[in-house]
Structure 1
Amino acid sequence: MVIPTQKECYTILNKYKVPIHIIRHSKTVSRVAIFIAKRANLMGEDIDLLLLEASCLLHDITKMQSLKTGEDHAKTGGKLVKSLGYPEVAAIIEEHIILKNPFRNGALTESEILNYSDKRVKHDKIVTLKQRFEDLKIRYGDRIGRSRDETIKRMLQLEKSSIRLEKRIFNILKISPDDLISLNEE
Structure 2
Amino acid sequence: MNDIQPSPIAVHAGGRIPSDGQCRAWWDEYGMYEHIKEHSELVAGVATTLAQMAADKGLGNPDGLPRDDFVQSVRAAGLLHDLGKTWSIVHGGNHSQLGAAWAMELTRNPRIAQGVVHHVHWPGELDAENFFLPLAVIYADKRVKHDRIVSLSERFEDLFARYGHTERSRALVRRSHDQGKAIEHLFSTILGEEIHEYLFDSRRLVR
**Structure 2 matches for 1:132-151, cutoff 5 A?**
132-142=155-165, 148-151=166-169
Q: Report if aligned partners of 2:60, 2:129 keep a CA contact under 8 Å in 1.
A: no
Q: Please name the residue that 1:76 is paired with.
A: 98
Residue 140 of structure 1 aligns to which amino acid in structure 2?
A: Y
Unaligned runs of 5+ in 2: 1-14, 62-69
Moved more, 162-171 or 38-47: 38-47
Structure 1, unpaired ranges of 5+? 143-147
Among the aligned pairs, what percent are the same residue?
27
CA contact (8 A) 1:45 1:108 kept: no
Name the structure with the higher helix share. 1
Other structure's SS at 1:84 match = helix
CA distance in 2, matches of 1:108, 1:64: 27
How many aligned positions are there? Answer: 180
User: Which TM-score applies when normalising by structure 2?
Assistant: 0.79
Match of 1:5 among 3, 14, 19: 19
**Distance in 2 of aligned mates of 1:102 and 1:132:** 23
> Take 1:51 and 1:34, find their aligned partners in 2: how far apart are those partners?
9
Cα pair distance change 1:105/1:183, threshold 3 Å: closer
Query: Which one of the candidate residues 119, 124, 129 is aligned to 1:96?
Result: 119
Q: How does 1:41-80 map to 2 (within 5 A)?
A: 41-47=55-61, 48-80=70-102
**Residues 32-86 of structure 1, C-alpha deviations (whole Å, 9 max, x = no match):** 1111111122222144111111111111011122234442211110011112243
Partner of 1:145: none
Q: Which residue of the partner structure matches residue 163 of structure 1?
A: 181
Cα deviation, residue 154, structure 1: 0.8
Q: How does 1:101-112 map to 2 (within 5 A)?
A: 101-104=124-127, 106-107=129-130, 109-112=132-135
Moved over 3 A (4+): 102-108
Task: Tell me if structure 1 keeps the 8 A contact 2:115–2:133.
Answer: yes
Structure 2 distance, partners of 1:164, 1:117, is: 13
